[in-house]
Amino acid sequence: MIRKWLARMLLGRSVPVARVRARYDAAQTIGENQRHWQAAGGLSAVAANSPQVRRILRNRARYEVANNSYARGVTNTLANDVVGTGPRLQLMTMDSAANALVERQFMDWSRAVNLASKLRTMHIARVQDGEGFAVLATNPRLDHPVQLDLRLIEADQVASPMIGFDATSETTNVDGIIVDRSGHPIEYLILRDHPGSQCMANAGSVADRVSAADGVHWFRVDRPGQVRGIPDITPALPLFAQLRRYTLAVLAAAETAADYAAVVYTDTPPGGEAEDYSQLPPEIQLENRLMTVLPGGWKLAQLKAEQPVTGYAEFKDAILNEIGRCLNMPSNIVAGNSSGYNYASGRLDHQIYYRSIRIEQHQLGISILDRILSAWLDEAALIPGFLPSSIGPFGRWEHRWFFDGTEHVDPLKESSAQAQRLANHTTTLADEYARQGLDWETQLRQRAREMQLIRELGLHDDAVHIVEDSDDEDEYEYDEGLDDD
């Protein structure tokens, strides 16, 4: 075969080319899948998330979160796990004392503005509304030298006003967000009154311009060119409705089976020997511990609930597992019940969940916390003597954010693995303390003070043995808790 092909090539003859016939089954439209794919479209990211679509999804998600305990639970759990008690700043310059001073000042400001609570609210808004907005503004009533504050804005208020169109040939107005040709936000149009305010006659008609440098927008970007977000629980909204409907159906079936509901029937064919029942009342009230007699040929039967109640738990678990999948949340966290889990299953499922949490925290640090820190430092630099000058311009300060650590289900195994990693030099104290949401320098200094006090008081600790070396200086040996024998 190859020889014939080479011969034709050498003689200049045309070589027949075999046509490849291939197709995608998913691209075929047939009677079986036509109804399934009829809503599929080719809209852009901006057009798909139009104001009308986002308003419908936002209202339905809010309704479900307000009335469905599972929807409320997963929303709060995500906010608690991502934000927790709030982020902590860790500076990594060469001056440890200056690092501690700035970290303490920023933490004091965070408490003054209740930063952790506001970030949790923004995350809840992102899950149920699709996006969380905030404005960096000055609050003269703030009890702190730095009067920067974070003012939260609902997604409904970031919209184009009823009057006017704020766009040019170089910009585009995406429902209240003015973006340039590259898709970067330039300004936010924030309505002074909420569109749903019933007491405001001019609600939605007047908007304030806020520079993108002063605005914070937190949403999940799923497509290139996307400017506005949709609720994170959008794929789960029909599932929440199904779960509630099925629960109500099971409850109604159980109530029907528990009530004294019965029917009177006869097997006698028409014109048979059964007595005439038409003269009796259509309904008979049954009393407890009462025996009654029916006319000849008639029988009494209780209504039975044919709904398969035994399959309710399996259906519920399957729905909850599907709900949690769009949030990377394992079913035991969605349900708040780990009775069917063993240790290995819990560790395996939680790896996916906590990895997504770390990604969310990393994005939170880049998109929001770094911008807040930059604005905070800009204002703090104007206060004489507030920031240390020994570590140079703050634009060069290396820093990181760390959050609450995750408690291990088996602390003994985790501590053993931690000691092994430290012994093998495959980790650092900074990383290990960061897993617990702690600052390694702060913890070591605190531990040093504790051991110093133990030595001064002559106390004995099971984990620390104080010995004297040849230079008459104290050394500390850590006991692994193992017997010498």
- Total-model pTM: 0.76
Query: Does 139 or 253 have the greater pLDDT score?
Result: 139
Best mean pLDDT range from 111-115, 181-185, 389-393: 111-115
Q: What dihedral angle (degrees, nearest 10) is formed by the CA atoms of 391, 392, 398, 403?
A: 60
* Cβ proximity of 458 and 466 under 8 Å: no
Whole-number Å distance between alpha carbons of 74 and 326: 11
What are 134's strand-pairing partners?
Answer: 152, 216
Per-residue pLDDT at 310: 66
The stretch 314-328 carries a mean pLDDT of 91
Tally the residues of the chain: 485
* Contact indicator for 379, 147 with CB cutoff of 8 Å: yes
For 78-135, the pLDDT digits (tens) are: 999 999 999 999 888 888 888 889 999 999 999 999 999 999 999 999 999 999 999 9
17: confidence class by pLDDT, cuts 50, 70, 90: low
**Which positions ≥6 away from 193 have C-beta within 8 Å?**
200, 202, 203, 204, 206
pLDDT level of residue 233 (50, 70, 90 thresholds) = very high
For residue range 429-456, what is the model confidence (pLDDT) as tens digits? 777 777 777 777 777 888 888 888 888 8
How many whole angstroms separate alpha carbon 428 and alpha carbon 173? 48
Which residue in the block uniquely carries the two structure tokens 């209780």? 302
Mean pLDDT of 324-338: 89
pLDDT confidence tier of residue 357, bands split at 50, 70 and 90: very high
Q: Which two tokens stand for residue 444?
A: 């070591």
Q: What pLDDT is stored for residue 435 in this prediction?
A: 72
Q: Cα-flanking dihedrals φ and ψ of residue 91, to 5°?
A: -85, 145
pLDDT at 285: 65
Which candidate, 133, 192, 132, 130, places its Cα nearest to that of 162?
192
pLDDT (0 to 100) of residue 107: 94
Task: For residue 257, give both structure tokens.
Answer: 């089976």
> For residue 476, what pLDDT band results from cuts at 50, 70 and 90?
very low
How far is C-alpha 457 from the chain's CA centre? 48
Stretch 47-74: mean pLDDT:
94
Only one residue has tokens 């609902």, namely 154
| Residue 472 phi, psi dihedral angles, 5° rounding | 60, 30
Tell me, rounded to whole angstroms, the distance of Cα 33 from its chain centroid: 33
User: Above pLDDT 90, what percent of the chain?
Assistant: 40
pLDDT for residue 221: 93
Give percent of the chain above pLDDT 70: 74
Tens digits of per-residue pLDDT, 272-303?
555 565 655 666 666 665 666 666 666 766 66
Angstrom distance (rounded) from CA 74 to CA 329 = 8
152 and 118 in contact (C-beta within 8 Å)? yes
Residues facing residue 419 across a β-bridge: none
Question: What average pLDDT does this structure show over 397-406?
Answer: 85
**Is 207 strand, coil or helix?**
strand
* Of 158, 84, 89, nearest in space to 377 by CA: 89
The DSSP letter of residue 155 is G
For residues 83 and 123, is the Cβ–Cβ distance under 8 A? yes
Distance, in Å, from the CA atom of 386 to the CA atom of 104, rounded to the nearest integer, reads 12
Contact present, 264 and 299 (Cβ < 8 Å): yes
What is the Cα–Cα distance from 443 to 483, expressed in whole angstroms? 28
Give residue 250's pLDDT: 83
Structure token digits, residue 285: 């009230």
**Angle of CA points 215, 220, 221, to nearest 5°:** 95
Residue with tokens 């030298």: 145
Tokens at 380, concatenated: 């703090």
Q: Distance of CA 444 to CAs 253, 354, 439, Å?
A: 62, 27, 9
In this structure, are residues 208 and 190 in contact, taking their beta carbons and an 8 Å threshold? Answer: yes
| Confidence at 62, pLDDT banded by 50, 70, 90 | very high
